[in-house]
C-alpha cells in the first residue's frame, strides 16, 4: 500500500525558515517524481514544486521561487521542502503527492498533509 | 499556463447532469486531471488523461476534451458528490490547478 506521511509543520514567524518532510513507503521510491501541493485555509489547491526521481528536473511555482528548495533522499525514501523567508500567505496545509504512474502523471496518492502557519 | 474553471459554483438536484469546464491558456494535449475534494478530506483523483476514469471512481463521472478546452460531467448527481472539483495540467513546468468549482445540492 502506498503511503505518504508528512511531518515538520508548525507555527513560525514571518521571515523564519522551516523544513517539512515526506516519508514514502509501499512503492519503489526511485521510480517516481514527487510533488508538493498546498492549500491555504478555505482556499483552493496550489501546486508548489515537483522533483524528478534523479533530481535532474525541478520546478517551482512562481510564488515560492527563490525561497523554497525541494530535495530528496532516495536512500531514506524521503522528500523535503526547505522553506525560507516565510510569509503570512505561505500559511497552508502542505501535501506530499505522487503520480499514478512514473513520468508525467496525475496525482493518485496524497499524504494527509502538514500544517504550516506563519504569524507574528 | 493558466487553468480557468467555470463556474465557480453550481447547484443541482439529485439526478441532474452537471458540467464543469476547464480552459488552459496553452495547448496541453490531454495532460489534464480532475480531482474531487469533499469537505474536510484530502483531494481524490477522478480522471486523468482528460477522459480516463481512475480505478474505483463511479461511472457517472466522465471527462472530455483536448488541447485547451476540457469538461467534467457528472451524470446523475448524488448527495455524496457535494464537493469542490479541481482541474490540473500535469505535464512539464508548473503543474497548475484551476480555481475550483463548488458543487452543491439544491
Residue B91, CB-side half-sphere exposure with 13 Å CA sphere: 13
Mean pLDDT of B67-73: 98
- Strand ranges inside A13-77, DSSP E: 18-25, 34-39, 45-51, 58-60, 68-73
Q: Hey, is the C-beta of A99 within 8 angstroms of any chain B C-beta?
A: yes
Q: B42–A95: do the CB atoms touch at under 8 Å? A: yes
Instruction: Note the residue count of chain A.
Output: 120
- Amino acid B96: pLDDT: 97
Q: Hey, is the C-beta of A78 within 8 angstroms of any chain B C-beta?
A: no
Q: Hey, is the C-beta of A56 within 8 angstroms of any chain B C-beta?
A: no
pLDDT category at B36 given cuts 50, 70, 90 is very high
Residues of chain A neighbouring B91 (CB-CB closer than 8 A): 104
- Amino acid B21: pLDDT: 98
**At residue B93, does pLDDT exceed 90?**
no
Residues of chain A neighbouring B95 (CB-CB closer than 8 A): 35, 47, 50, 59
> Which among B37, B45, B91 is the nearest to A108, CB-wise?
B45
Amino acid at each position: 500500500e502506498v503511503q505518504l506521511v508528512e511531518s515538520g509543520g508548525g507555527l513560525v514567524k514571518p521571515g523564519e525558515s522551516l523544513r517539512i518532510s515526506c516519508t514514502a513507503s509501499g512503492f519503489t521510491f526511485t521510480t517516481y517524481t514527487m510533488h508538493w501541493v498546498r492549500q491555504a485555509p478555505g482556499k483552493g489547491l496550489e501546486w508548489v514544486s515537483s522533483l524528478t526521481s534523479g533530481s535532474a528536473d525541478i520546478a517551482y511555482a512562481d510564488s515560492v521561487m527563490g525561497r523554497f528548495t525541494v530535495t530528496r533522499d532516495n536512500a531514506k525514501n524521503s522528500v523535503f521542502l526547505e522553506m525560507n523567508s516565510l510569509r503570512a500567505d505561505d500559511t497552508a496545509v502542505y501535501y506530499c503527492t505522487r503520480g499514478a504512474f512514473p513520468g508525467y502523471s496525475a496525482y493518485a496518492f496524497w499524504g494527509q498533509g502538514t500544517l504550516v502557519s506563519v504569524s507574528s | 499556463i493558466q487553468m480557468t474553471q467555470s463556474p465557480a459554483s453550481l447547484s443541482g438536484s439529485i439526478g441532474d447532469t452537471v458540467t464543469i469546464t476547464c480552459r488552459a491558456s496553452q495547448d496541453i494535449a490531454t495532460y489534464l486531471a480532475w480531482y474531487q475534494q469533499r469537505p474536510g478530506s484530502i483531494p481524490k483523483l477522478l480522471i486523468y488523461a482528460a477522459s480516463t476514469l481512475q480505478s474505483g471512481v463511479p461511472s457517472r463521472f466522465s471527462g472530455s476534451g483536448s488541447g485547451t478546452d476540457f469538461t467534467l460531467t457528472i451524470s446523475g448527481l448524488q448527495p455524496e458528490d457535494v464537493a469542490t472539483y479541481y482541474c490540473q495540467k500535469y505535464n512539464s513546468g508548473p503543474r497548475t490547478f484551476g480555481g475550483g468549482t463548488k458543487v452543491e445540492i439544491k
